[in-house]
Structure 1
């Protein structure tokens, strides 16, 4: 009998998923029966990621497009439609980081981070929701926030602003799309051991700060987000809407 977390028959599009957290999300959903559509801007990395999922017996496709380019997003969904790939689950994961003091930040740098981390979730979410609404079968949208959806650190202002926006975009989507049986929620990862954080992990002072500031005493691992993603993608969360779940080793719980 299918369980609450069974995703058999569903198809999940995950942006920025050729590696890192995005790929971990894809692998987790695939293990629970979903067909995965990986996204990125490097054909080589996407091919490698798809082959890795195929080697484990999972159903996986790829779609190569820039999530911050509206025309590319619209065309990508038209291509998915033509292939008969119906997106039931969307994880807006694509993101970049830029560390620079606000007074030194160029407008183009600010805009690039906002476009990639926040505007892309609007663009891709909009196209996915249009189709979910038209099919009248509901769907799941999971936006990836951050600890920075709640608090700030020096030198990462555009990232902090974008991730704060992700929290409110999740609520805005809920306000409009919950009536169509679309559950929109977010995950807020803590400090995770990923490629994006490699420079911080190798910095003894920052590494010590993370471990000392986090009640769990360590960095998180990408696969430790898997359970939350599967839960929010499954029917187990059918009455959960507009929430952001922090997976941070307890960092936000303490002073």
Structure 2
């Protein structure tokens, strides 16, 4: 009996050793696949960042180095399927000139391309890479926005969710009065139009003569700002006054990223 049990132990040890070896190989294989997936993802993001930088320059705009993030894990399955959940493109310190020479600045232009279709053949041969929708958001500082209008005495701010303009009206050579007015925002033919109404002149008794001066001053406060040409055919969809600045939302649909330089 002792010899029978003794002959069985080496087999059990060999079986356990084999399982350990197989599990170790599987772990190494899994780690290798994960590393390859992340490396491929990082490589693709860097390539896209270079192409986006070229596209920004082609639009006569400026930014710090673009940051590209391809969402979704694993990355390689998206490559094989030719479909990507989302590609995020961040353009820090974005600057672009309007057609009339003003410079529009944003600390960050944040672009999201969703439902991207990019077959392997397109990636290899430079074919169409189409995003079902592209959205972008950026915030323009109120002081920079006022400066871009060329009106040095105009001040802009947010109050109760609305854009408010303020200035100082010289009623006479010795009397100046502060006034504020709510802004009406509108986008027409590639221009942001700002008109003011609901004027508030605290502490001032308005007579017909002064009212005429106020009305003329409010008309002078109005301004238009050209929208600069943006990457990926983005156009303005919404303007939202926030405490930190004017939030601008851009959008486009069925954008050929390859044709746009990406």
TM-score, normalization by structure 1: 0.25
Indicate the structure whose relative CO is greater, using CA pairs within 8 Å and at least 6 residues apart: 1
Identify the structure with the greater strand proportion: 2
TM-score, normalization by structure 2: 0.24
Identify the structure with the greater helix proportion: 1
When Rg is computed on C-alpha atoms for both structures, the one with the higher figure is 2
